[in-house]
Amino acid sequence: MTIKAFQVSGNGVYAQDVPAFAAAIQGAEVVLFPGNSRVKRSVPAAALRAGAAVDTNVVDLALEGDRLVAQRWAYRQRILTTFTRAARPWAVVVDPSLFADVCAKLGVTAETLSVDASSSTRTTVEGLVAAGAGGESTIKPDSPLLFVAGAGWTKKQADGALHLDDAADAIKGFLAKSGASLGSSKSLVDMPEAAAKFTFMSHMNQVGQTGSTPRHAKGLSTCCHGEEPHVVGWRFVNERRAVNLDANCGWAQGKADVLYVADAFEVVKKLNEML
């Protein structure tokens, strides 16, 4: 069985990536890709062009005799499914955090995929328009870090009192010092008391099932439970970390790479001091 793996990074252009990925898929029986946003955007179309089967969100691969067996989570990461395919070529998109381990397990060395950037596209840039004057935006698509605040910031704290002003100051301080982009859960932006104090936040910051799906390299969630509606918008974020006092929250159920069981007020305060 011929297995190849390709390392793909950066943003890329869809019109250039699809033919390059299709050519790579046609060159082997099984082709592995890391599941970053660039790959997930273009590989399905490339597989269709190459006449290949494609599976995404794979977390493990193993050779069993002459069969390649894959695993991935289903039903909100509660059921781990095991499957294989007879169709060839087979494009397999592996969870980006596990891509190197899977390649090493199969004894495959990942090559850097070369994309011809000279090929023409139908998009041309005719000019740039400067943004209008106004307050500083908390939505920064180019930032490497996404900072998400949840409804826990508006709850009573250890002393039994609300600290909305302190919460707003801590969040704004972290954003200013880290340059992070701000996200929010739906429950937080829907709260009237939050709207009164968190004037730097609106429904435009909402991340999740009914919000946006950002593509930052790293994400830090605070005071957010990490259930499916919260994390669905994180599917393009490569490294996920969360801060929550509940050790059994959704983030702990395989949805975060690292979960800090701690008080987000104290954690963000310490981060602001360090920054």
Q: How far apart are CA 200 and CA 202, in angstroms?
A: 7
Q: Give the Cα-Cα-Cα angle 146, 177, 225 (nearest 5 degrees).
A: 35
| pLDDT at residue number 233 | 86
Question: Which of the residue ranges 99-108, 122-131, 147-156 would you say has the lowest mean pLDDT?
Answer: 122-131
pLDDT over 70 (residue 256):
yes
More confident residue, 46 or 117: 46
Per-residue confidence at 11, pLDDT binned at 50, 70, 90?
confident
User: What tokens were used for 61?
Assistant: 């691969």
Q: What percent of the chain has pLDDT over 90?
A: 60
User: What tokens were used for 246?
Assistant: 């509940």
Look up residue 212 and give its DSSP letter: B
| pLDDT at residue number 9 | 86
Domains of the chain: 3-112 (3.40.50.620), 145-274 (3.40.50.1220)
- For the segment 238-252, the average pLDDT, to the nearest whole number, is 91
Per-residue confidence at 130, pLDDT binned at 50, 70, 90?
low
| pLDDT at residue number 196 | 83
Q: How far apart are CA 50 and CA 110, in angstroms?
A: 20
pLDDT tens-digit series, residues 196-235:
889 899 889 999 888 888 999 999 999 988 888 778 888 8
pLDDT over 60 (residue 170):
yes
pLDDT tens-digit series, residues 133-156:
445 689 999 999 999 999 889 988
| pLDDT at residue number 121 | 62
- For the segment 184-192, the average pLDDT, to the nearest whole number, is 88
- The residues, ordered by sequence, that sit 6+ positions from 235 with a Cβ below 8 Å of its Cβ are 213
Return the beta strands (E) in the chain as ranges: 3-7, 30-34, 53-58, 60-64, 67-74, 79-83, 90-94, 111-112, 145-149, 181-184, 218-222, 239-243, 258-260
How many other CB atoms are there within 10 angstroms of residue 171's CB atom?
Answer: 25
| pLDDT at residue number 129 | 63
63 close to 102: Cβ distance less than 8 angstroms: no
- For the segment 60-84, the average pLDDT, to the nearest whole number, is 93
| pLDDT at residue number 227 | 85
- For the segment 77-83, the average pLDDT, to the nearest whole number, is 92
Q: How far apart are CA 273 and CA 275, in angstroms?
A: 6
